Structure 1
Amino acid sequence: MATPYPLFDAGYTLWKGDVDTQLRQLLGVSLRELGVAERELLHRYHHGVSAFRVVEDMTMPVAAD
């Protein structure tokens, strides 16, 4: 199955590093330790979601309905 994203993207590497660094500073864990799927990260990056938004989504509690 072909991937819709490039095999290597330096911008993605930097973006992912920003997300990982922020998570380590805020929670003391990495993306790998949290079990975040690479495909989900690629999807968010290629759809223009900022690194800050990704970190916010992972660190903010979900509101109960």
Structure 2
Amino acid sequence: MRTMELPSIQVNHADRLFACRQKIEEAVHEIIFSEGLMEFSAAEIAMAVADIADDYILTIAKQKSATH
């Protein structure tokens, strides 16, 4: 996969999440299809990555609610 150069994105720009996804998608695919994790299916690894991300989002939400 070839990495695409992206223009600088303003902090509040509506496409910031999309730009972030473009930047990390290749790395996530490398994790999901890693030969070092062959004892797990690609679907299991993808679900684990999603679960880790979900846990992180919940942690951020708790931190933000505690400071408001």
TM bin, normalised by shorter chain, reads 0.3 to 0.5
TM-score by length of 1: 0.35
Task: Point out the structure with the larger helix share.
Answer: 2
Q: Which has the larger radius of gyration?
A: 2
Q: Which fold has the larger relative contact order, with Cα–Cα distance below 8 Å and residues 6 or more apart in sequence? A: 1
TM-score by length of 2: 0.34
